[in-house]
Copies of this chain bind each other. A is one copy, B any other.
């Protein structure tokens, strides 16, 4: 299978497949006489696995670790679980950050409506007041 077919089957772009090869997520495939990459069904499976992990928002480094561990069927799956646990924690953390942000933005937005001029803009006033509170009082120098 050539790279274009593999791209069609996986839904990944050709460049992305080559990118994963450079990142060593995907083993460098055989080449034809004309130096074209020639893939097996194994490569297809591997790519779909990677795609699935990316859909879970795992980083390439995390995926790399999981793939490496997976290659050794007798080893403990502790590190895979730890990767997922850490990932869950990271997302948890990010969600609560975004929730706090959302609250701030919404209350800021509530302070203004579209018919105002810039100098009266409630959103900008809120931003400014936060700045002023951090800003040292002006000195005459």
Q: How far is the CA of A120 from the CA of B9 in the complex (A)?
A: 28
Q: How far is the CA of A111 from the CA of B76 in the complex (A)?
A: 15
The verdict on A26 contacting chain B, using a C-beta distance below 8 Å, is no
The verdict on A124 contacting chain B, using a C-beta distance below 8 Å, is yes
Q: How far is the CA of A78 from the CA of B130 in the complex (A)?
A: 21
Please tell me how many copies of the chain the complex holds: 2
Interface residues of A in 107-126 (CB under 8 A from B): 108-109, 112-121, 123-124
Q: Is the CB of A131 within 8 A of B77?
A: no
Q: Is the CB of A73 within 8 A of B127?
A: no
**A113: nearest residue on chain B (CB-CB)?**
B81
Most buried by B among A81, A85, A94: A81
Q: Is the CB of A124 within 8 A of B75?
A: no
Q: Is the CB of B105 within 8 A of A48?
A: no
Q: How far is the CA of A131 from the CA of B54 in the complex (A)?
A: 13
Across the interface, which residues of B come within 8 angstroms of A128, CB to CB?
Answer: 49
Q: A56 is contacted by which of B56, B76, B105, B116 (Cβ under 8 Å)?
A: B105
Q: Is the CB of A80 within 8 A of B124?
A: yes
Q: A114 to chain B: closest CB distance in Å?
A: 5
